[in-house]
Structure 1
Amino acid sequence: MSQRSSLRVPSAAVSRENSSREPSPTGPTRSGSVAASPETIWSSFRLAEGDEIEFHETSGGRKFRKHYCLRCNPVEGPVFDTCWTSNAKTHLLSKHKIDVESLSSSSLRDFSFNRDKYLALLVLLVCRRKLPFNIVTWPEFRQFCLTLNPSIESCLISSRSTLVAHITKVYTFYRDQLQVKLQNAKSSIHLSADLWTSPNRTSFLGVHGQWVDERYTLQNMLIALPECTISHSGPQQASYIIELIRSFDIGRNIGFFTADNAGSNETCLRAVSIALKDEYEVEYDAEAHRIRCMGHVINLSLHAFLLANSKEALQAKITLHSPQIPPASHL
């Protein structure tokens, strides 16, 4: 992937060392208790992540480090940020109904656990590292979480079905974001597809998209991975691709199609062309938009050359996979 995708699960809070913080008074408050220290207030915030703005610069050229609220859910809207403890306290009280000055040390420990972030990172861990869904039931994993914060036992999920539900929710959220990006593309959306069979003999059709986004940046992304449960025929592959085009509503913006030399890809693209004509009234020339994967062509040629035991066998192998190439005697 040439560009890092902007679709990401927020990472955990990073170290807050060397951050610019507003001095906070430590005298008595209206309730007679000791005012919350900056450390207490900033424990509910994190530093900038990814492409977020790290500093606020005043007109005089002074820079103050921004802090982002850990309690705000990025799915629901922009995450609140501030450089000042006073603003941070006001936000926590008005938005999240949390009065940091009245929190006891034990409730502070409870509050410092962000369940939304825990769920997001758990989904990321399981999906990216290919861990089993029942990890949430492992005594060792639960003990590890409780070692970090003993007061969060009631907040941990303990059912694999609950984890699957959260994974589905995250997938739906990012799929909707991907749909918006595809529909806002400044270029045609070029597709590449290939079949793959897993070690347990389950077949998948990987569909990869390439386009220029609204910022005129080249994007490369896996946009679908349907399971092929029926056959590997061209019409069957076409049904998965047509469903993908239909679900993202990008039928009027399909560009070139890259695949290997298998004959099924010819019939697949012809079926896609017919569907685009019927559903979107788009004239899509299957032959003109067909690109053959050069890596696959080279691989087949090398196999034929290295493994053939005669000139006739070599020519037969080449003709089998690339019938459009004339016999060697005609070259």
Structure 2
Amino acid sequence: MITTSANLKRHMERKHPLVKLGDDRNDRVGVENNEELEASNSNSNEHGHNMPEPSTSFSAPDSAPDNQVTHSKEKLKMTQSSVTTFVKRKMGVTHRKIIDQKLLLLFTHDYQPFSVVDDYGFKSFVASLNSSYVLPSRKTISNSLLPAAYEEVYNRTKNILHDVKSISLTTDSWTSQNSESFLAVTAHFLNNNFEFKTCLLECISFPESHTSLNLATGLKKISNEWNIDDKILIVVSDNAVNIKKAIRDELKLKHFGCYAHNLNLIAQYSLKLITPILEKVNNIVNFFKRSTLARLNLESNKFR
């Protein structure tokens, strides 16, 4: 057994020099105990005592004290524990997929940039949790993991909508600050358990002119893709003329104006009636923002 441990130690020193098998002090104690044991056996030989037969079991010779047996067992356990702790184990495919799915939540739920996988602090944090897991690159995330996750969610949502009898849609189109136009469509329905559910069907780039015909074509394409043409009860949108005409005249569907949009129009119209007062308030605020002395006097109550 002593020879086996020595061979293992030499192997680790040659092939894995960075792996520390245990405390050097314990190793030295073990060597000293082994030397004492060999000296004791040698003295016994000289005095005519019979040497014990070699044993294939772990038990120490009868002439060895009990503390040497205990020490040898503890050293073996320490060596096995050290090797298990520091030698990396290959991660299974199933376990890796689970961690990959949790990693994707950083991007799909928290909207973190893909570059987070290149950050030193994040990589160190992940390595401390599981050193066998290798973070995927940004290219792998964008070209492989994310499309696979989208395909899974797409198929699951399509199966859910297949069992739904009636669906209401909400839609909106807008132009971003980068002058890029978008069209979004969301489905609302009750499932078999009478639970209210909402699914975003599409949010796509819409570079075409926002005419009623083009909007109707875009909405029709989306409804055909999700196989919900005969399930649409009503479509909710803002009160713009083009989208109302697309829903009512082009698609022949029931339309309902967005209540929140109507409230917003009412509030905007009401604010126009107090525009002179708002301008005066705005000038006062700007005056104190531009002058540090005026702001200090205001804070010290000199204007009261």
Range of TM-score over shorter length: 0.5 to 0.7
Distance 1:199 1:128, change over 3 A: farther
Q: Give the 3 Å change call, closer, same or farther, for CA 142–309 of structure 1 in structure 2.
A: closer
Native 8 Å contact 2:88 2:131 kept in 1:
no
Task: Please tell me whether residue 150 in structure 1 is matched to residue 131 in structure 2.
Answer: yes
- Shift in alpha-carbon separation, 1:106–1:241, aligned structure 2, 3 A: farther
Is the contact between residue 109 and residue 149 of structure 1 (CA under 8 Å) also seen in structure 2? Answer: no
Aligned-CA RMSD value: 2.7
Q: Give the number of the structure whose residues are more often helix, by fraction.
A: 2
Give SS of 1:114's match. Answer: helix
Contact 1:157 1:163 in 2 (8 A): yes
State the one-letter code of the partner of 1:246: N
How far apart are the structure 2 equivalents of 1:271 and 1:173? 36
C-alpha contact (below 8 Å) 1:210/1:221 kept by paired residues? yes
Task: Output aligned runs, 1:241-252, within 5 Å.
Answer: 241-252=219-230
Aligned to 1:125: 106
Superposed CA deviations along residues 119-142 of structure 1, whole A, max 9, x for unmatched, are 111111112222222322333322
Aligned-residue identity in percent: 25
Question: Which residue of 1 is the match for residue 244 of structure 2?
Answer: 266
Aligned to 1:136: 117
Task: Judge conservation of contact 2:88–2:132 (CA < 8 Å) in 1.
Answer: no
Q: 1:180 aligns with which of 124, 139, 159?
A: 159
- Structure 1 residue 106 displacement after superposition: 5.9
Structure 1 unaligned regions, length at least 5 = 1-102, 274-284, 311-331
Q: Which residue number corresponds to residue 231 of structure 2?
A: 253
Establish whether residue 217 from structure 1 lines up as the match of residue 182 from structure 2: no
Could you tell me how far 1:185 is from its partner in structure 2?
0.5
Residue pairs, 1:226-245, within 5 angstroms: 226-245=204-223
| CA distance, structure 2, for counterparts of residue 299 and residue 196 of structure 1 | 16
Equivalent residue number for residue 9 of structure 1: none
How far apart in 2 are the matches of 1:238 and 1:161?
Answer: 36
Letter in 2 for 1:128: H
Decide whether the 8 Å contact of 2:91 with 2:132 is kept in 1.
no
Which structure has the bigger radius of gyration?
A: 2
Structure 1 runs (4+) greater than 6 angstroms displaced: none
Give the equivalent residue in structure 1 for 2:56: none
Q: Tell me which residue corresponds to 2:6.
A: none
Cα distance 1:190–1:126, how it changes in 2: closer, same or farther (>3 A)?
Answer: same
Give runs of aligned pairs for residues 21-60 of structure 1, distance below 5 A: none
8 Å CA contact retained: 2:171, 2:236: yes
Displacement after TM superposition at 1:199 (Å): 3.8
CA change 1:271–1:227 in 2 (3 A) is farther
- What is the aligned partner in structure 2 of residue 292 from structure 1? 257
Distance 1:109 1:271 in 2: 65
8 Å contact from structure 1 (residues 212, 218) kept in 2: yes
**For 2:205, what is the secondary structure of its paired residue?**
coil
Shift of 1:270: 4.2
Moved more, 136-145 or 257-266: 136-145
> What letter corresponds to residue 106 of structure 2 in structure 1?
L
Instruction: Could you tell me which runs of 5 or more consecutive residues in structure 2 were left unpaired when the two chains were aligned.
Output: 1-82, 276-304
Q: Deviations over 1:273-311 (max 9, x none)?
A: 2xxxxxxxxxxx43xx1101111112112212321489x
Are the aligned partners of 1:261 and 1:296 in contact in 2 as well (CA < 8 Å)? Answer: yes
- Partner Cα distance (2:205, 2:250) in 1: 18
Aligned residues: 191
Residue identity matched to 2:199: M
Residue type at the aligned position of 2:255 = R
Structure showing greater relative contact order (alpha-carbon pairs closer than 8 Å, 6 or more residues apart): 1
